[in-house]
Structure 1
Amino acid sequence: MPIEMPRLGLGTYTDDDQEGRYEAVKTALDVGYRHIDTAQVYENEEYVGAGIADAPVDRDSVFLATKTVHHDVPERTADVRGAIEGCLERLGTDSVDLCYVHWPTGVYDAEEVLTTYQEAHDDGLIEHIGVSNFTPEHLEEAREILDVPIAAHQFEMHPLLPQEELRADAREHDYWAVAYSPLAQGRVADLDPVQAAAETHDASPYQISLAWLLAKENVAAVPRATGREHIADNFGARNLDLSDDEIAAIDAVDERERCIDPDFAPWN
């Protein structure tokens, strides 16, 4: 079985109002979320950590994940340990439940980076090691280097980008496939089978898209949201059971669109 991790978490990426992540995290934990996802490059770990500290829940009940080694963060490979420690310092914690390698590009050197992650794991800074935006080839290489299993792989996934190959790898090797941008930046609301299911269940199309993901084996999701209504709406997806026909109709969407597609991405 994959590691224990709440299947629906709060994503905290934003390109503005970083301080607003403090209230978003507090609100999400009050609504019922117990999985918070952030990253060094988001530049909001300080606010995320403060939001967790000030929320009316025990820190031990919160699954906290962050990421480092990003193409746009110019730390040398030798500084990866310092980058991990910097994440913990900003979050105000001695360890995180999950730390992802954010991109296998730029400063990424598989042997050196993953060995550093392994050492941080062995020293108790990282409970579990994850990767993000990897190709199948990167995943296989990582498995050969790490002494512990990959716990999660985070990548863009939604009805317009179902990522069958990466989901199959997650099932085969029994780790979580964690969907970022699981609502395709709102585009899922325009899909006919999503709209039809939303009407049937008296739910929002965003709830339907998240419920479709959660119906998949070994899949979790970390939609970002701001404001109590939006945060609570996403969380409501946990209570939706789509029919086999509804899932099949969304599976049959043949339009494809990738929202996050930088030139440095390993698939380009």
Structure 2
Amino acid sequence: MTAVDSILTTVVDATTEIRAELATYRDKVDTENPTGDTQVAADQWIDDLLFERFRELDAVGSFVSEERPDAIDVGDGYSVAIDPLDGSSNLEPNSTTGTILGIYDAPLPASGRELVASAYVLYGSYTTMTVARDDTVERLVIQGGEVVDTDPVSMPSDPGICGVAGQTSDWDDALRTYVDELRETYKLRYSGAMVADVEQLLTYGGLLAYPPAPSQPDGILRLQFESNPIAHIVEAAGGRSSDGHGSVLDCDPKELHQCVPTYFGTPALVDELETRL
């Protein structure tokens, strides 16, 4: 088993326990993460669970989480960055959530080009983990902490879904006009959990936008924990990512909890979006 395999297998092993305990840890707690989001108990519990498991691996040298202010050195190896529970606000209405993982061959913060593998787990009708490594993407079906099926993943080119985060009134005029045009052909999708929307994107094609807003001029997604790993997956599947100007993977990493405007989709749609913006 390679070092990367050991990290991915650790996440697969943890999925059964995580899924079984989500209801137990669904309530909000009186704390915030480093970027000011109100936490739910599951954010902290999953973060602690994965930290304890990763720190035992020789493959992991540094553990970094959306829920912790700083990186934690645990040995010599890869830097592992996680969003323990993407879409944690979806727990209360019992909607889809997930976990995002980036494995970097560099100290964090780092460029997305330093990713050697990335993955997201989806706790949906059943549990899957979508993994990008070596320029390929696979979707693993997980039951009882074991992989029971795998499928290759590639970005469809046909018209599919369109989803945009935030309030319409906060969108740039050019983005609003473009989305209005896409609505004539594309189905609108936005769930509140990026992993669920990305899964729809990789299944049906289309465009997802997480733009800046007056209250969040740098966007809502964290570069190290969300934008980079998902961009790595989308691009390996044949899609495109963008910060509005170029690939998210080329964004300059300035600090650990940095946010960036982020767009994912089929290449033609993202190309056109950049032209409009």
More helix by share: 1
Scaled by the length of structure 2, the TM-score of the pair is 0.27
Scaled by the length of structure 1, the TM-score of the pair is 0.28
More strand by share: 2
Higher relative contact order (CA 8 A, sep 6+): 1
